[in-house]
Amino acid sequence: MLYKNKDKRSLPEHIAIIMDGNGRWAKNNNLIRTKGHLKGLQAARQVVLTAANLNIKYLTLFAFSSENWKRPKFEVSFLINLIKEKLSKELSELYDNNVKINFIGDLTSFGSLIEEKLLYWQEKSKNNTGLYLSIALNYGGKWDIVESCKKIATLVKNNELNIEDINPNIFSNNLSTKNIPDPDLLIRTSGEYRVSNFLLWQLSYSELFFTNTLWPDFSKEELLDIIEDYATRERRFGLTNEQAS
C-alpha cells in the first residue's frame, strides 16, 4: 500500500508517536505483559522503516517515560534489559538503513553501560542523511521544560543572556529537541486521549490523532491512513481560514 496523496507537501515533516497499549495487548492475548513489549518493538521497527520509505524527515517515539519507573519491578527490569540487549541490534539495523539516531531524556538513570551504548549509536549515525529518529527514554515534558529553565538561568547568571532577551525561540533552543522542528502530527495508540507528559512545549500546534489500536497491532497501513487524514486538515496556526489559504 502506497501513500495515495501525490503532493509531497501534504506529508508531515515530523511525526511523534506515543506507543501505548503493550500491556493490554498481552492481556487480551493471555500473555504476560513483557510479551507485549516484545511485540511492540516489532511494530516500532515497521513504523520507522515505513516513515523512512515515505521520506518523512523526523520521527519521535515515546519509548520510556520518566513515570514508567513506577511500574512493577519485574516489568521495569524487563524494559531496561530490552533497552540493553535488544535495542542495540535494532539500532544497528537502523544505522545500516541510513537512519540518524537521536535520544532525548535523562539517560544517566539507566547506568553508564547503557548510556554509553546508546550514545555510541547516536554518535556513529550522526552523518546519516535519512530519517532523523528521536527515541524518548526516561523522558518527561515537565523535566524537559525545567531543564531548559535551568540552562537559561545559568546563561543569565553568567551574563551570557539578558532577561529581556528571553523569548520562545530561546526557550525552544534549550530543550532536548533543539535540533528538530516541533511535531506536525502526534499519534497516540490504545484509545487514550491524553499526551501523558510528552513534548508539552513542542506539541502546542501539532495535529492530534488518537486511535483505539493497541500499539503491537499498529500497522504500516494504519500509519498511511493517518497521514492521509492529516493531509486533509487545515493548519492555521492562529490565523483565519482566509489568511491561511
Quick: pLDDT tens for 92-135.
999 999 999 999 999 999 999 999 999 999 999 999 999 999 99
Q: What is the pTM of this model?
A: 0.92
Single out the catalytic residue among 68, 97, 128, 173. Answer: 68
The predicted pLDDT at position 9 comes to 58
Separation between Cα atoms, residue 194 and residue 203, nearest integer Å: 12
Residues forming beta bridges with residue 14, ordered by sequence position: 58
Which pairs count as long-range contacts for 50-55, CB under 8 Å and 24+ apart, including other chains? 50/220, 50/223, 50/224, 51/15, 51/131, 51/223, 52/97, 52/98, 52/99, 52/130, 52/131, 54/3, 54/11, 54/227, 55/8, 55/11
Quick: pLDDT tens for 16-41.
999 999 999 999 999 999 999 999 99
Single out the catalytic residue among 20, 144, 182, 184. Answer: 20
Structural domain boundaries of the chain?
Answer: 10-139+182-233
Name the fold adopted by 10-139+182-233.
Undecaprenyl pyrophosphate synthetase (3.40.1180)
Report phi then psi at 13, rounded to 5.
-75, -40
Contact yes or no for 19/61 (Cβ under 8 A): yes
Mark whether 20 is an active-site residue: yes
